[in-house]
Amino acid sequence: MNGIMSRWPVLQNHRVTPEDLDDDGAIRDEVVESWIATACSGYLDRCVVLREFLERSGLQLRRNTELPSRRLLGWPTSVITTAGVTEIHPKAFMIAVRLRPVGGDRETPLNQTCGVRLEDPGTGDVPLLTDDIRDELIALAHAAEHFN
């Protein structure tokens, strides 16, 4: 494996199937997008304090994800995705997602981000993150047990 191995709270392994490939044998964009979304959701599922805050407040999560060029993954037999928060801002946080191709012509991981903010669905206002939410995100980073 190439690159620095770091700790992540969420790790998922996706076997590449023929249905995941386009006519040229490359992984389809929507498959890569779904793997990133699944990794982000897996991370957010661990955020109990955040989820309870959303239920009490009526606020909604908004995510903005950058998608990589799928060609950068090469032609792997599987892809390992990991997710964890790497940046916390006053009104948002960034979930980093690493996609590591395995068993193909490339082993270089791709790093992508998913911006997350809370939003009032009626007004569009974006409030400050609470200290409890920030503390939970930090605690999840400290408890990370997977390497990628």
Tell me the CATH number at 140: 3.10.129.10
Q: How many domains does the chain have?
A: 1
* Rounded Cα distance, 82 and 79, in Å: 10
DSSP H helix total and E strand total for the chain: 3, 7
Whether residue 1 is contained in a domain is answered as: no
Whether residue 49 is contained in a domain is answered as: yes
As beta bridge partners, residue 92 has: 117
Whether residue 122 is contained in a domain is answered as: yes
| CB contact set of 51 (below 8 Å; sequence gap of 6+) | 44
* Rounded Cα distance, 105 and 100, in Å: 12
Residue pLDDT, tens place only, 60-89: 999 998 777 767 888 999 999 999 999 999
Residue pLDDT, tens place only, 8-27: 999 999 999 999 999 988 89
For the four alpha carbons of 140, 117, 45 and 49, in that order, the dihedral sign comes to positive
Whether residue 136 is contained in a domain is answered as: yes
Provide the Cα torsion 53, 10, 116, 35; round to 10°: -130
Whether residue 80 is contained in a domain is answered as: yes
Domain region containing 142: 7-147
Whether residue 115 is contained in a domain is answered as: yes
Whether residue 2 is contained in a domain is answered as: no
Residue pLDDT, tens place only, 111-140: 999 999 999 999 999 999 999 999 999 999
Whether residue 107 is contained in a domain is answered as: yes
pLDDT value of position 2: 57
